[in-house]
Amino acid sequence: MAAAPWTAGALWVNPRMLLLIGVCCWSTMFLFVMRGNWCSMDDGYLRVDHRLRTHGGGSSSSSSRGIIMCLHNGMVPMALSLVQELRTLGNTDAIHMYHCGADEMTPLSRTTILAVDPSVQFIDVCTDMVGSGKLREDQVPSFRSYWLKPLALIHTSLDHVMLMDTDVMVFHDPALLWDVQGYKDTGTLFFRDREILIQMFLTDIIEFPDHSKKLALHALIESFDYAKFNLEYNPSSSLLNSLAWKGEAAHEQDSSITVIQKSKAPLAMDVLFYLVTQEIHKYRPIFTHGDKELFWLAYELSHLPYFFSPWANSGSARPGDMQNHPNTLCGITTTATLYTRSLLADGTWRNGFQTSVSNMCCSTSTAHMCLIRTRVTWPPFWTWKAGAKSC
């Protein structure tokens, strides 16, 4: 009898074959990393052992500060790329990778990352916080999401914390952010999101049982349980003058890079924990797209000072862009999220994109901002290839 033809559909009914293919793919990737060939370039390969020798394997100049990334197994390739960027740019801060549950970061994922930077630390925050009684088992699934990032900030023993999404692309060593005067003064450095006027998130409408209606941001600020933290309702002038409060922008913060000194604001950490475990479940629709608004709001609700970069965050698309290719936004204009005049020409970082050398594109399947420069200089250590999506 002739053997049945081998088809793609046959794979889905043969779990052993799927498992074998998965193991082979991961093993191949691991071997490439071990050989130092993970980061391919036009002019050759950057060896892992050379990179670690040059940059000290990531030993931070200050044990109290570091970079936190939140990820799972499917994000390992992006995390590898970002770690390589950071180390090649000269960053020596500690890197802590947070996940929720042992199955979110397998031994193979850990080994693959450690082959690039053996100093990376992994923290299973959900297991740890359940063990300490700070979380219930039934709460764990909800933190396999955006909400993991604020939980990681609350949990970490680091004092100076730089939260960084794995799809961020950095043009400079981000350690320079520790020296921003606004950060030194307030213990915070937040970046603005795009100004989007839609009736969603902060500007969504909440309807109460008495049929009264309020903007989601107003509902949060006016109904927050201030007494729980020995506080009173007292919105800051920054809030009252914000576009979101006036109903003119659905977002305030892009949290792709968020810098916080925890020791300056323990109350804000308590409020943040309350927000991420209770307040976000209070009203529907929710007032934030993912975690992005929780950080500055924790400080606002705590009546503590916070600092936003004065530079706008924006991106531009070509005329007819959405009609021609609705899944991407392709732009050639300059976009920057900066704080020092000397760096204005370059840009500090970019969050989430699909790219080719001749045409810069952002995938609209991500909810992230795309930061683009007019004079694009492609760092030779980038692993991104034309058409590769950020997530």
Q: How far is Cα 56 from Cα 87, in angstroms, rounded to an integer?
A: 9
Q: Which pLDDT belongs to residue 284? A: 66
What sign does the dihedral 385-92-65-98 (CA atoms) show?
positive
d(CA 351, CA 370) in angstroms, rounded, equals 5
CA pair distance 293, 202, nearest whole angstrom: 9
Q: How far apart are the first and last CA of the chain?
A: 45
The rounded mean pLDDT for the chain is 74
Tokens linked to 262? 């925890």
Listing DSSP states for 238-291 in one string gives HHHTSTTTTTS-S--EEEEEEEEEGGG-HHHHHHHHHHHHTGGGTSSS-SSSTT
Helix (H, G, I), strand (E, B) or coil at 315: coil
* 6-15, 188-197, 359-368: range with lowest mean pLDDT: 359-368
Question: Domain coordinates of the chain in residue numbers?
Answer: 28-179, 188-301, 316-391
How far is residue 254's CA from residue 142's CA, in Å, rounded to a whole number?
21
pLDDT one-digit tens code per residue, 319-370: 676 677 776 655 433 343 444 333 333 344 455 433 333 334 443 333 233 3
Q: Can you tell me whether residue 99 is helix, strand or coil?
A: strand
Sign of CA dihedral 244, 249, 251, 252: negative
Using the structure block, give the residue that is written with the tokens 């997530």: 391
Per-residue pLDDT band at 178 (split at 50, 70, 90)? very high
pLDDT attached to residue 59 = 43
Tell me, what's the pLDDT at 252? 87
Residues 6+ apart with CB under 8 A from 343: 172
pLDDT category, 254, cuts 50, 70, 90? Answer: confident
> What is the structure's pLDDT at 201?
78
Determine which of 74-83, 93-102, 212-221 has the lowest per-residue pLDDT on average: 212-221
Q: What is the reported pLDDT for 2?
A: 44
Q: What is the pLDDT of residue 324?
A: 77
Alpha-carbon torsion (87, 91, 96, 99), positive or negative: negative
Q: How is domain 28-179 classified at the architecture level of CATH?
A: Alpha-Beta Complex (3.90)
Query: What is the mean predicted confidence (pLDDT) over 60-65?
Result: 64
Q: Rounded distance, CA 335 to CA 348, Å? A: 10
Are 156 and 126 spatial neighbours (Cβ–Cβ below 8 Å)?
no
Are 219 and 206 contacting, i.e. CB atoms less than 8 angstroms apart? yes
Q: How far apart are CA 335 and CA 81, in angstroms?
A: 22
